[in-house]
Amino acid sequence: MRISEKPARDSRTPAAAGAQGTLSGPASRKLPVSPRERRPALAAVAVLLILGGALATTLLVMRSGDRVSAIVITQQVGTGQAIPVAAMREVQIADTGLGYVAYAHRDEVSRTFAKVTLLPGTLLTEQMVVRASQELGPGKARVGLSLKPGQSPSGLRPGDRVQVIHVPGRSGADREPRVLAQSALVDSVGTSGRSGSSGAVTVIVDSGLSPVVAGYATIGEIALAELPGAR
């Protein structure tokens, strides 16, 4: 015979039991959640920026297919020097809207002068040339020098800046070398000869100084010192 025990009845009233299971009154009420603020103006600006970037990219891609003929410099041209046709080469570049000089105008460019030193690989623009050269204008003179080894630095090129120095010979050994021209422009450079000579170098100096430079050059008492930072 099985003996079962009946569970004891909860003496608490349903109302009391319910009071423990749930909360009533103000404590049971949840705080209202504020809706997320929307910023339509910022969203519109973001959309415009995205559209503008996409449009700019499209234009660049479209224009990259437009090629124009321009002039690229192939050899150094110093400030104030004429730009020879031999120093110009045709190159096809993308039309970026910059004022590159067309290769068709090369003959006209050859009658102008470099406003700044033009290095090989430079794409020529209108702002780089001038109609008149201060280096070759009134008061200037070209002086040809025939220099021996050791009287000029190696690798000298047209457009370089040099000091023209008087170096006294044996008869004037008691005198110190002196600078005749502080910053002369190298106009042209010859090739080395069979005799080992450094070749002819033409420099541009003040016309009042040219007789002195030429006089010392004829007796081999002229030397050149390059000024790399003065280009």
Q: Is residue 39 part of a domain?
A: no
Query: Contacts for 173-178 with beta carbons within 8 Å, 24 or more apart?
Result: 177/223
- Per-residue pLDDT at 32: 52
pLDDT reported for residue 59: 65
Q: What is the pLDDT of residue 156?
A: 87
Looking at residue 136, what is its pLDDT?
76
Query: 220 and 187 in one domain?
Result: yes
pTM: 0.55
Asked whether residue 3 is domain-assigned, the answer is no
Candidates 230, 202, 220, 227; CA nearest to 141 is: 202
Position 160 in a domain: yes
Query: What is the model's pLDDT at position 131?
Result: 85
Is residue 205 within 8 Å of 187, Cβ to Cβ?
no
Which pLDDT value is given to residue 16? 45
- Classified as helix, coil or strand, 144 is strand
Stretches in the chain below the pLDDT threshold 50: 1-7, 11, 13-23, 33-37, 193-197
Amino acid identity, position 1: M
C-alpha distance from residue 125 to each of 6, 68, 84, 109, 228 (Å):
108, 13, 15, 10, 24
Number of domains in the chain: 2
CA distance 88 to 121: 10
Together in a domain, 170 and 209: yes
Examine the fold and report which residue of 109, 130, 151 is the final residue of a domain before the chain moves on: 130
Question: Sign (positive/negative) of CA torsion 110, 113, 119, 122?
Answer: negative
Do 153 and 223 lie in one domain? The reply is: yes
Quote the Cα angle for 49-55-56, to 5°.
90
Q: For residue 172, what pLDDT is reported?
A: 56
Q: Are residues 110 and 151 in the same domain?
A: no
* Cα–Cα distance measured from residue 33 to residue 115, given in angstroms and rounded to the nearest whole number: 71
Residue 167 belongs to some domain of the structure: yes
Q: Which domain holds residue 209?
A: 140-230
What is the predicted pLDDT for the residue at 196? 43
Using alpha carbons only, give the angle 222, 226, 231 rounded to the nearest 5 degrees: 130
Is the Cα torsion angle 171, 177, 182, 184 positive or negative in sign?
positive
